[in-house]
Structure 1
Amino acid sequence: MHKLLASAHKEFLLLIKDFGGLVVLFVMPLVLIITITIIQDSTFKTVNDVKIPVLVVDNDLGSVSQHIQEGLANSNAFQVVVNGSEKNAKDLVFSGAYQLAIIIPENLSSDLEKKVNQNVEGIIAKFSLEDDTETKTVEIPKKEVRLYFDPATQQSFKSSVKNGIDKMISKIETQSIYKAFQDQITDDPTEAIFETDNFIHFKEIMPIKDEKEIIPNSVQHNVPAWTLFAIFFIIVPLSINIVKEKSQGTFVRLRTNPVSYATVLGGKTLVYLCVCMIQFILMLLVGVYFFPQMGLPTLDISGRIPLLFVVAFFAGLAAIGLGLLLGTIAKTQEQSAPFGATFVVILAALGGVWVPVFIMPKFMQTLSNISPMNWGLNAFYDVFLRHSGLVEILPEISLLFLFFIITTLIAIVYNEKKNAI
């Protein structure tokens, strides 16, 4: 135990003497989480908070175009800006001034009314008991609502806008059909024969705590994700520290003492595990106290602190095991530093820190299961968002601990074989 504590004390002295390393370990993660959370907060807000200006060129000037503009305005997601020229609207969108322009064709309302009346009259004529002459069908050309998108617009935004407008126009067509049937069946325009309101609707059921709905926000997603990124980023200074000891001859002197390599790694593990826990505490403090001062949601950790520390503890062990392995295998700092930083980014991408796993291709979703960041992130989400207990997060923290054991054992075995030759 004395040798382990002495090794840990040595690591502590080396760490506090490296001011640049301390900045990378503690300051940079805080700057990262604050920046990313501010940027992503708008994606978690309600549509009432952000309105996207949309150009509308109304060549119809009828009831349908009026319904379309009212539907866009009432959605609270768009700010309707009426423009009189399709060419002008197209130029503005393609230059990036606006993200979307909607071009409503001429005679849309009148042609829709003619088409619906013609179809309704044909149906009624077929069911009529009287021998009527065949109704004359007039070919009415189909109408096309054109959409112009900024070339830089994401595909997900395009799809959501297309679906929304398609749903809106379908509702207008349905109501027109109901109205045409009603006009044919009864002479009383005030008599309602058909209900035009949607019979089927959707309702999202949110988790409830203390009779209030629990709505996920940007802080609950970003704090665990970027805390894991910061924790795993310690593999860079940790591996550099091990390589530096080998290149400066410190490790040779350590080998002349009756100290096993496992004890040396144990001292590093103790110190850097404390670093991971300090990083985690700082992230929680930022989420609880600093974010509300910036107008961001408060991180709710009530009743979750013990489980959160358990997840952070095992995530820290996994990161340390990876750092010990990298530092043992690497021969120079030029090998350990770039590889460590790049590898952390790859693990973060695979683990769902950058992009949610569920939108990845199937192959990448399968591959993400081998990322320790994915295990840690799922465990954090279980605690933060799913209100799980220790039993539910046991598989993830077991994988993290197993990852630490395997990587550390590989580092010890590799070092013994290398020194035995």
Structure 2
Amino acid sequence: MSVYKEFLLLKRDMGGVVTLFLMPLVLIITVTLIQDSTYKKGEQVKIPILLVDYDNGKVSKTLFDNLKKSDVFSVVTAFNNKKITEAEAKEAVFSGKYQMAIIIPSHLSRDLQAKIDQNVQKIVSSLGFSDSMATKSVAKIVNQKEVKLYFDPAVQLSFRSGVMNAIDKMISQIETKSIYTSFQDELGGENAQFEQKSFITFKEIIPKINDKEILPNSVQHNVPAWTLFAVFFIVIPLSINMVKEKTQGTFVRLRTNPVSNRIVLAGKTVMYLIICLIQFYMMIAVAIFLFPHLGLPPLNVEGNLILMSIVALFSGLAAIGFGILLGTIAKTQEQSAPFGATSVIILAAIGGVWVPVFAMPKVMQVIAQSSPMNWGLEAFYDVLLRNGSLLDLLPELFLLFLFFIVTTSLALLYDKKKRAV
């Protein structure tokens, strides 16, 4: 009957119930569509960048070709069929029309080759393979060159660092090749053949399930994260309903019945846990059946649905325990609603829903371990991405259940102490 009473309360506010189910679906679709391009290799939306070439040499041509072949950037070198100047590029970037501009200085290729030739001749001469006159004939002072990068002030620091590292790598490869070529020329052309391929290469080892590589995508990351976010938002209607019962006198009438407060809270737990699981299965269904029609990869839950359901069950218990504690302590809806919404957002922020925990400062990484959303998220990742078993999930499930027990016990103790006073 306690569960049925909670069902009747929810039935009276069908608009709120529809919102409770509909908004998480809109959220997960929107966020996944936005973030999907960051997980794709060959189908990314290319970022237009400005390239001002005052060099017109080998270095600038190689840089242009590499940028043009990139899956990330599209290169813009002219406005209205007229070559871009540095002033125009600077104005366009600083006004936010473009994210970045690259300014290649004049005579970069010529001066780079001259500097390399000087250094190679000095080395070869010191080893006794060249006469002193050849070294003395090169007396030109070559100044260091500067490739200027303009960034939109709104661009994140990680984007700037990534671009600068990529450009530095391109130019370093050009410089290395030029050094090999200069040595070859100094040592006699045909007699000195250098292998110019990279000796050290990188190979990513990807885990496999049934001989299939597990490649992470936006769906595998967003569905667990935003499902948890939606589940924990159950805190708001749960705490508001509890406050309503207190302000309208319903709770006092319930206390006059020969049942303990534990039975009343158990009814709330069962009803809202059903809602959490319905939310979970709706979001899973959207990820499996709707996402492919939106151009997104479907969520593969083959063999994992039972484990994911267990994680959702314990995550729902943790959210309900928090909601019960908040509803017990809060005296008005103005206290429960804002605090509930803000606290859920904070738990999501420190739990890794928005920013990966490894990217946080050390202090925040420690704090993140105390967020129930982090426990639930890690459990989902163990299932979807790490091929974890039920045994692997036990630490996170234990923490989630312990959180439910502690918050519910605190609510019961607080209610008992308040009535005693």
TM over 0.5: yes
Counterpart Cα distance in 1 of 2:406 and 2:355: 28
Structure 2 letter corresponding to 1:267: G
CA distance in 2, matches of 1:54, 1:250: 64
Task: Judge conservation of contact 2:223–2:284 (CA < 8 Å) in 1.
Answer: yes
Give 1:20 deviation, angstroms: 2.5
Deviations 1:142-196 (A, max 9, x none): 11111111111111111110000001111111111100010111144xx661111
2:358–2:365 contact (8 Å) kept in structure 1: yes
Q: Does 1:45 align with 2:47?
A: no
1:93-113 alpha-carbon deviations (Å, 9 max, x no partner): 112221111111111111111
Question: What secondary structure does 2:59 align onto?
Answer: helix
Shift of the 31–131 alpha-carbon distance from structure 1 to 2, 3 Å rule, reads: closer
Q: 2:179 aligns with which of 177, 180, 188?
A: 177
Structure 2 contact 38–44 (Cα < 8 Å) conserved:
no
CA distance in 1, matches of 2:320, 2:39: 33
* Counterpart for residue 345 of structure 1: 345
Three-state SS of the structure 2 residue aligned to 1:79 is strand
Q: Which amino acid aligns with 1:395?
A: P
- Give the distance between the partners of 1:106 and 1:20, measured in 2 at CA: 66
Q: 1:354: which partner in 2?
A: 354
Residue of structure 1 in register with 2:150 after alignment: 148
User: Which residue in the other structure is 1:278 paired with?
Assistant: 278
- Asked whether the equivalents of residues 41 and 71 of structure 2 are also in contact (C-alpha less than 8 Å), the reply is no
- Residue of structure 2 equivalent to 1:10: 5
In the aligned structure 1, how far is the partner of 2:194 from the partner of 2:35?
45
* One-letter amino acid of the counterpart of residue 256, structure 1: T
Q: Distance in 1 between matches of 2:310 and 2:96?
A: 48
Distance 1:90 1:391, change over 3 A: same
Name the SS for the 1:80 alignment partner.
Answer: strand
Determine helix, strand or coil for the equivalent of 1:386.
coil
2-structure distance, mates of 1:397, 1:376: 8
Hey, what does 1:159 align to over in structure 2? Answer: 161
For 1:245-324, list aligned pairs within 5 A.
245-324=245-324
Structure 1 residues 324-378: Cα deviation after superposition (integer angstroms, max 9, x where no partner):
1111111111111111111100111011111111111111111111110110010
User: Contact between 2:3 and 2:268, CA under 8 Å: does it hold in 1?
Assistant: yes
Query: C-alpha distance in 1, partners of 2:129/2:5?
Result: 101
The residue aligned with 1:26 is 21
CA distance in 1, matches of 2:373, 2:169: 40
Residue range with higher mean Cα deviation, 8-17 or 201-210: 201-210
Q: How many Å separate the matches in 2 of 1:414 and 1:378?
A: 31
For residues 360 and 22 of structure 1, the distance between their equivalents in structure 2, rounded to whole angstroms, comes to: 35
Unaligned runs of 5+ in 2: none
TM-superposition CA deviations, 1:198-232 (whole Å, max 9, x none):
11111111122333321111111111111101111
Within 5 Å, give how 1:21-420 maps onto structure 2. Answer: 21-83=16-78, 84=83, 85-128=85-128, 132=132, 135=136, 136-188=138-190, 193-420=193-420
Distance 1:280 1:171 in 2: 50
Deviation at 1:125, TM superposition (A): 1.0
Which 5+ residue runs of structure 1 have no aligned equivalent? 1-5
The TM-score normalised by the length of structure 1 is: 0.96
Could you say what secondary structure the match of 1:156 adopts?
A: helix
Displacement of 1:131 after TM fit?
6.8
Name the aligned partner's letter for residue 371 of structure 1: S
Cα shift readout 1:25-44 (whole Å, capped 9, x = no counterpart): 21111111111111111111
Contact 2:315 2:376 in 1 (8 A): yes
Preserved contact between residue 240 and residue 333 of structure 1 (Cα < 8 Å): yes
Distance 2:320 2:181 in 1: 70
TM-superposed CA distance for 1:76, in Å, is 2.6
Give the match for residue 3 of structure 1: none
8 Å contact kept, 1:48–1:77: no
Residue aligned with 1:406, SS:
helix
Q: Secondary structure at the match of 1:142?
A: coil
CA distance in 2, matches of 1:241, 1:317: 17
